[in-house]
Chain A
Amino acid sequence: MDDKKLILVVDDDPDLVEAISMKLESENYRVSKAYDGIQAWDRIKQERPHLIILDVMMPNKNGYQVCDELKKNPQFSNITVVLLTAVGDAVTSTKYTHMDGKTALADEFIPKPIDLDNLMEIVKDYTR
């Protein structure tokens, strides 16, 4: 059995998914990838990751919805969720607000553009 921790990376930007995945793999994690909320749920059910790095703005099902459903489901509620948020000054066109973030049940929030080193520290903290 492979004892490397499995991290699910979910974002509709394939370049960001790849960048985060490369960094995680270099830190000895296993990585699974999804590009929208529905794919994310498929991966969660099939692979049961240790931690999910989840973008907010995605097609089909956004990150807040995925996080909300996951945290309300006793079967999966103990999976750590790190939400990648893009609200306020950084992204003027977003329809999401800080209030959405406050009501989400994610374990951590990281604003975009993300600091990969900061993200890795958070991942390490939650997977020790």
Chain B
Amino acid sequence: MGEKIPMEGVNVSPKMVRVTVCHSLPGGDLMAGFLHPLARDRINMKLLITKEGKEESRAFCCMAAADGTRAKGLIDSTPDMAKQAELYEPVGLISIFPLRSSLKAVGLALIALGEARVPVHGFCSSLSALTFVIDHDRLQEALAAFEGCFDFP
């Protein structure tokens, strides 16, 4: 193991619900059909990843566990959406920061999680943070894995 990369902090979320919606409509229609109702019902998303391909669009988001039931109700009442939506819980988010656009940090984090055999549902970077979506009951293992390659205060 080489020198550890210094980080200023790590955040671990409480239990969350992962909602995945897959749709054959273009991305814009997926947004209208899925995300607008969530926004109207003031369901806050901690993280959102979208993907638009030639044949399907996907949205993947995480929200507080307490909002999962409300979100399911909205999805079930939206035509064509219910059969394409999947709720999975509990997941947790683990974020390290600041990333400083370091691809090395992304690689080390992925290797660390892989070696610890912690499945990754998804990951994304933002202005400062690198965030991984994993099973909530694996968060402590993920944290221990990260401590092997990053220095936290």
Chain A interfacial positions (CB closer than 8 Å to B) = 12, 14-15, 17-19, 33, 35, 39, 92-93
Contacts and interface: CB of A to CB of B under 8 A. Distances in A.
B44 A18 contact: no
B34 interface: no
Interface of B: 8-9, 11, 42, 44, 95, 97-98, 126-129, 153
A116 to B, nearest CB: 13
B8 A35 contact: yes
Nearest to A39: B153
Contact of B126 (A12, A15, A33): A15
Given A15-B128, A17-B128, A93-B44, A33 B8 contact: yes
Main secondary structure of the interface of B (DSSP, over half): loop
Given A15-B126, A18-B98, A33-B8, 15 more contacts: A12-B11, A14-B11, A14-B127, A14-B128, A15-B127, A15-B128, A15-B129, A18-B127, A18-B128, A19-B127, A35-B8, A35-B9, A35-B11, A39-B153, A92-B42
Contacts of A33: 8
A61 B98 CA distance: 22
Contacts of B95: 14
Contacts of B9: 14, 35
Contacts of A35: 8-9, 11
B44 A14 contact: no
Contacts of B126: 15
A48 B44 CA distance: 36
A93 B42 CA distance: 10
Contacts of A15: 126-129
A12 B129 CA distance: 11
A58 to B, nearest CB: 11
A35 B9 CA distance: 8
